[in-house]
Amino acid sequence: MFKKALYISLSIFSFFCLTASAQLKTDSGKFKIRLNQIGFYPNAPKIAIVLTNKRANFLLQTLDKKTVFKGLLKKSVQPDFAGQYSWIADFSVYTKPGKYILYVSGLGASYPFSISKNVHQQVANASIKAFYFMRASTPLLEKYAGKWHRAMGHPDNKVLVHASAVSEGRPEGSLVSSPRGWYDAGDYNKYIVNSGISTYTLLSLYEDFPEYMKTVKLNIPESGNGIPDLLNETLWNLRWMLTMQDSIDGGVYHKLTNAAFDKMEMPDKATEPRYIIQKSTAATLDFTAVMAQSARVFRQYEVQLPGFADSCREAAFKAWEWAQAHPHIIYNKYVLNDNFSPKITTGDYGDGDVRDEFIWAASELFVTMKDIKYAHKVNLVPDTKMPLPSWSQVRVLGYYSIARNSERIANTGYGNNIVEIKKHIVAYANGLIKDANKTAYEAVMYKKRANFIWGSNSVAANQGIALIQAYKITNDKKYLKYALDNLDYILGRNGTGYSFVTGYGSRTPMHPHHRPSIADGIVEPIPGLLAGGANPGDEDHIPLPSFIPDQAYIDNDQAYASNEVAINWNSPLAYLANALEALQNDIQ
Ligand code: G3I
Ligand code: 9MR
C-alpha cells in the first residue's frame, strides 16, 4: 500500500519535474543564456555565455522591454568540455543601475538581473547566516530563522566515549559534554578536520576585511553584543571545538558522530547515541591551527570575552605538543571498524598525509606568537608547490596567514621567506588566470576538468580566495575580475544554468541533500546554502543528466555527490562574496 502510494506520488512528481524541465527548454533564453542571476556591479565586467551555434546580436533591455544597449556575440576562443564553442555577450561598458534582461533573437530573454552597487550583499550575508541554520544544540527561533525556525537538536551534553577514544579517566561508555558547533553538511555529525578549514576561512574573512565585516549584521541571537556577527557565528563552532580536546593529554578527537547516518528527519527527531571517536594527528593539528588563529583574532575582544583568547592559545599549545608526540595517528575507518564496535560508518575526513597539517599548524603558531621557533620546527616551504586548499590539503592556509600578517612577523628574522611565500601565492594566482579568458565560460574554474570533483563549487570559491590573496599582496586589480568570474560561475554562469546558492537567483537548488531542508515540510530549502556542484564522479549513483564535467549535476535530494551542502563549501563562498562586496569599487 505504502509502496503504491509512493510510486504514484513519485510518478506525479516526475511528471511535474519533466514538465518543468520541458518548459525550461522551450523557454530557451532563460536556459541558454548563462549569467550571474543576481547581477553585476556598475563598473565591473559583465558577461553572459550564450549557448547557440551562430553569431547574433544581443540586446540589453529594461524589464519593460526598452533596449538600452546592443552588442554582437563573440565566439569563445576554446570549446567547452563537450567540444562546443560558446558565444559571449559582453555588456561591460553599460553601467547604469537598474533591473534588466538580456535578449538574443531566436532564443528569447534571460532571467532578470540587477546592475547595482552592493549587488551581492544579500547573498554574501546569507552565506554566513547559513551557518546559524547549521547550529547544533540550540533551537532556531522564528525571529532569527523566519519560517525555518525549528526545535533544538543534538544537545550533545551526554556523548559516549567510543572504544577507540578511551584514555585515562575516560573509559568506554563514559560521558562527555560537547555541545554547540555546526552540523557538517547534509548530515548531523561534527568533524574536527572539516571544521578546521571552515572556521579558519571565516576567521580569515574577518582578518582580511575587519572594517567591512564589522558592518555586516546577521540577525542572530548574539547580534548587538559588541562583537561582529561573523565572529559571533564563528564562536558557536569554536566553543564546540574546544570541548573536543582531551584536557589531560591535549589530543583532539577526530569527530563527534552517530554510528551511522541519520534518516531524513529533523534534528530533534534524530536521537541516536552520539560518540566521540579516536584522536587523530590531522584533527589535532587542524585544531592547533584554528585555535592559534583564534587567539590572535579574539585578542581584540578581550573586554567582551575575557580570557577567551588565552584559552584558545593554551589549547593550541597543548594540541601542538600532542601532535609532536603522536605525529602519525591516522583516522582510517577500516582499521577502526576492524578493532572497535560499534562500527562507525559516517563521514571519514581521513587523510593519510599530515605533512601539510604540520605546516599549517606551525604557520599559525608562528604568526600568533611571533616566534620563529615554530617556523623552524617544521620546514614551512619544502618546495614551491601551492596546492589549492581543501579539507585534506591545508598547507596554503598557513601561507595565507603568513602573507596577511607579514607586518606582524616582520621582526622575527623570517623576512626573505615571507617574500618568497608571497611570490609563490602570486605565481599560483598568475597560473590560475593564464588563458582563463579563453575558456568557454571565461572563468578560471573552466581551465581544468579536474576541478569538477565532489564539492566542485568550493574549488571555484577557493580559487577566488587565492586570487583575492594575490590582489592583497600586489594591489593589482586584475585579480579581482577573475575572482568575480568564479562568483559569476557559482551564481549561474556555468554548464548547469543553476545559481548554486539556495534562495539566491532565479533557478536555484530546491532539493539539496540536507536533512532539515528535506524534513521540515517547507517548500523552499534553507537559504544561503551552497550545493556541492557539478561532479561527474556520481558517487551517489543517482543518474545524472550528463557526465560532461561542468554539467554533471542534478537537483535531487539523494544526490549527495553533487547536491549536498557543507560548511567547508559555504565558508569559501562567504569569503568570496563578502570580499568582493568589500572590494567592489576596485573591480575593473
Ligand atoms: O582529489 C581526488 C582527485 O585527485 C581525483 O581526480 C578525483 C577523482 O575521483 O577524486 C578526488 O577525490 C575525491 C574527493 O572527495 C575530492 O575532495 C574523492 O574521490 C571523493 O571520494 C571525496 O569525497 C569526499 C566525501 O566526503 C567522501 O568521503 C568529499 O571530499 C567530502 O567533502 C565528503 O564529505 C562528506 C562527509 O564525509 C560527511 N558529511 C558530508 C560531507 C559532504 O558530502
Ligand atoms: O547523508 C550522507 C551524506 O552526508 C554523506 O556525504 C554521504 C556520503 O558519505 O552519505 C550520505 O548518507 C547516505 C549513505 O552514505 C548511504 N545510505 C543513504 C544515506 C543517505 O543518502
Q: Which residue has the higher pLDDT, 300 or 24?
A: 300
DSSP code, position 244: T
Nine-digit cell string for 313: 592559545
The whole-number pLDDT of residue 17 equals 44
The whole-number pLDDT of residue 23 equals 55
Above pLDDT 70, what percent of the chain? 95
Mean pLDDT of the region 156-160? 98
Q: Alpha-carbon distance 306 to 308, whole Å?
A: 6
The whole-number pLDDT of residue 208 equals 98
Q: What are the start-end ranges of the H helices in 166-276? A: 192-208, 210-214, 229-243
Residue in the block written with cell 563549501: 569
Mean pLDDT of the region 283-298? 98
CB 560 near ligand 2, within 6 Å: yes
CB 185 near ligand 1, within 6 Å: yes
Residue in the block written with cell 539556495: 502
Task: Indicate the top mutation candidate among 453, 457, 515, 562 to test ligand 1's pocket, ranked by most ligand atoms within 8 A of CB.
Answer: 453
Mean pLDDT of the region 522-539? 98
Q: Alpha-carbon distance 152 to 183, whole Å?
A: 13
Euclidean distance between the first and final Cα of the chain, in Å? 61
Burial class of residue 300 (count of CB atoms within 10 Å of its CB; 0-12, 13-18, 19+): middle
Bond prior to 572 in cis (omega within 30° of 0): no
Cα-Cα-Cα-Cα dihedral of 88, 94, 98, 101, to 10°?
Answer: -30
pLDDT tens-place string over residues 37-46 = 999 999 999 9
CB 537 near ligand 1, within 6 Å: yes
Domain limits, the chain:
121-489+568-586
Confidence check: pLDDT of 190 > 70: yes
Q: Alpha-carbon distance 119 to 121, whole Å?
A: 6
Bond prior to 342 in cis (omega within 30° of 0): yes
CB 196 near ligand 2, within 6 Å: no
Nine-digit cell string for 171: 573509559
Whether the CB-CB separation of 151 and 269 falls below 8 Å is answered with no
CB 218 near ligand 1, within 6 Å: no
Mean pLDDT of the region 75-93? 98
Confidence check: pLDDT of 18 > 60: no
β-bridge pairing 253-257 and 190-191: antiparallel
Q: Which residues are catalytic?
A: 187, 513, 555, 564
- SS3 for 510-531, per residue? CCCECHHHHHCCCCCCCCCCEE
Residue in the block written with cell 593564464: 434
The whole-number pLDDT of residue 2 equals 36
Residue in the block written with cell 579539507: 391
Mean pLDDT of the region 307-313? 98
Mean pLDDT of the region 200-204? 99
User: What count of Cα atoms within 13 Å lies in the side-chain half-sphere of residue 307?
Assistant: 1
DSSP code, position 379: T
CB 187 near ligand 1, within 6 Å: yes
Ligand 1 atom closest to Cα of residue 569: 32
Whether the CB-CB separation of 132 and 516 falls below 8 Å is answered with no
Phi first, then psi, for residue 156 (nearest 5°) are 55, 30
DSSP code, position 115: E
Q: Give the residue from 555, 553, 542, 567 showing the smallest Cα distance to 458.
A: 567
The whole-number pLDDT of residue 26 equals 54
Whether the CB-CB separation of 183 and 136 falls below 8 Å is answered with yes
Confidence check: pLDDT of 463 > 70: yes
Confidence check: pLDDT of 568 > 80: yes
Ligand nearest to the CA of 565: 1
Interaxial angle between packed helices 478-490 and 456-474, expressed in degrees from 0 to 180 and rounded to the nearest 10: 160
AA letter at 151: A
Q: Picking from 9-23, 29-43, 78-92, 315-329, which range would have the lowest pLDDT averaged per residue?
A: 9-23
Pick the residue whose CA is nearest to atom 12 on ligand 2: 261
pLDDT tens-place string over residues 317-357 = 999 999 999 999 999 999 999 999 999 999 999 999 999 99
Whether CATH 1.50.10.10 fits 121-489+568-586:
yes
Mean pLDDT of the region 18-27? 53
Confidence check: pLDDT of 209 > 90: yes
Ligand nearest to the CA of 389: 1
pTM metric for this prediction:
0.95
Q: Alpha-carbon distance 404 to 369, whole Å?
A: 15
Average pLDDT of the chain to the nearest whole number: 95
pLDDT band at 12 (very low <50, low <70, confident <90, very high): very low
Q: Alpha-carbon distance 71 to 57, whole Å?
A: 6
pLDDT band at 4 (very low <50, low <70, confident <90, very high): very low
Taken in order 23, 46, 439, 493, is the CA torsion positive or negative? negative
DSSP code, position 323: H
AA letter at 71: G
Beta-carbon contacts of residue 316 (< 8 Å; ≥ 6 apart)? 287, 288, 289, 291, 292, 295, 364, 365, 368
Q: Give the residue from 188, 178, 157, 185 showing the smallest Cα distance to 266.
A: 188
**CA–centroid distance, residue 454 to ligand 1 (Å):** 5
pLDDT tens-place string over residues 423-454 = 999 999 999 999 999 999 999 999 999 999 99
Mean pLDDT of the region 221-241? 98
Q: Alpha-carbon distance 68 to 364, whole Å?
A: 51
The whole-number pLDDT of residue 561 equals 98
The whole-number pLDDT of residue 16 equals 41
The whole-number pLDDT of residue 415 equals 87
Ligand 1 atom closest to Cα of residue 349: 37
pLDDT band at 24 (very low <50, low <70, confident <90, very high): low
The whole-number pLDDT of residue 9 equals 42
Confidence check: pLDDT of 13 > 50: no
